């Protein structure tokens, strides 16, 4: 079993959803990002997403873009992302990379999968890679024994959801809303419908992301999804902090609230 399969077996046994937390590597610094990931693990996150900073993001909202831009200006490279994965995976939680496809191609498809597995990473989320164009990548992740995760959205047809779920391992990422990432006052109304449509064609766990920012929202999503994915709200803890220590404190506090939400529900 992969690290993700083992994790979801445990959360199912505990009758709860998993909490997946995202931050970009390299923000506020390479070591500062590692400290932030460790704070999230300490506060109860189940799975870590390490974002690979990219200069032309398609889905990132303004919060994540600010942090990613700063990480790129500081010289964050794919090699730095791999070092970050190694440090975070050593904490004992499943660790994935979230990346657009272009950096993977530039680094080398087989090399990327191999180096990630060597660093202790267990999977990769590729939001802009289509299943019908993924054959080289699927071969690389098979060889490296890591899980490929693809996205479905409310606009996805039933055929698209079926094709996407068929090439996923670990879990299927269900984007709750159309558009870019960002914390919202409410999670998209179509998220639960999307989960239902996706469950009809796969037995894989389904994680819902884009918009969750509070423990109450996490509890709401946890009532129908297998994982609650949070990014922008966590990044904002670091962006809004007066200093790095204040950022870590805010991050720990919010992660604890979200972890309580997925364990105990919105109420």
Classify each residue of 149-165 as buried b or exposed e, where b means 16 or more C-beta atoms within 10 Å of its C-beta.
bbbbbbebeeeebbbbb
What CA–CA distance (Å, rounded) separates 263 from 72?
35
> Helix, strand or coil for residue 254?
helix
User: 49 catalytic, yes or no?
Assistant: yes
Burial label for 15, CB within 10 Å (0-12, 13-18, 19+), is exposed
> Helix, strand or coil for residue 137?
helix
Contact 4, 207 (CB under 8 A): no
- Please identify which of the residues 30, 42, 46, 60 carries the catalytic annotation: 60
Contact 198, 177 (CB under 8 A): no
Contact 40, 19 (CB under 8 A): no
- Please identify which of the residues 49, 115, 220, 226 carries the catalytic annotation: 49
Burial label for 265, CB within 10 Å (0-12, 13-18, 19+), is middle
Tokens, residue 123: 């999977």
Show which residues are catalytic.
49, 60
């Amino acid at each position: 079993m992969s690290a993700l399969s083992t994790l979801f077996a445990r959360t199912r046994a505990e009758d709860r959803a998993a909490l997946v937390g995202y931050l970009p590597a390299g923000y506020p610094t390479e070591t500062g990002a590692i400290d932030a990931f460790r704070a999230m693990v300490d506060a109860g996150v189940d799975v870590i997403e390490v974002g690979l900073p990219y200069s032309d993001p398609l889905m990132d909202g303004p919060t994540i873009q600010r942090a990613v831009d700063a990480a790129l200006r500081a010289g964050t490279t794919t090699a730095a992302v791999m070092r970050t994965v190694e440090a975070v995976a050593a904490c004992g939680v499943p660790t994935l990379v979230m990346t657009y496809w272009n950096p993977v191609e530039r680094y080398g498809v087989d090399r990327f999968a191999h180096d990630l597995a060597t660093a202790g990473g267990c999977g990769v989320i590729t939001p802009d890679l289509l299943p019908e164009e993924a054959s080289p990548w699927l071969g690389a992740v098979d060889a490296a024994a890591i899980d490929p995760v693809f996205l479905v959205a409310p606009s996805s047809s039933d055929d698209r959801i079926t094709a996407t779920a068929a090439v996923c391992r670990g879990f299927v990422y269900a984007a709750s809303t159309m558009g870019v990432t960002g914390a919202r006052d409410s999670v998209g109304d179509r998220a639960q419908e999307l989960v239902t449509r996706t469950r009809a064609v796969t037995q894989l766990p389904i994680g819902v992301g884009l918009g969750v920012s509070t423990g109450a929202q996490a509890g709401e999503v946890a009532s129908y999804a297998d994982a609650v994915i949070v990014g922008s709200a966590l990044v904002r803890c670091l962006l809004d902090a007066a200093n790095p220590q204040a950022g870590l404190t805010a991050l720990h506090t919010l992660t604890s609230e979200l972890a309580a939400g997925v364990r105990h529900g919105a109420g």
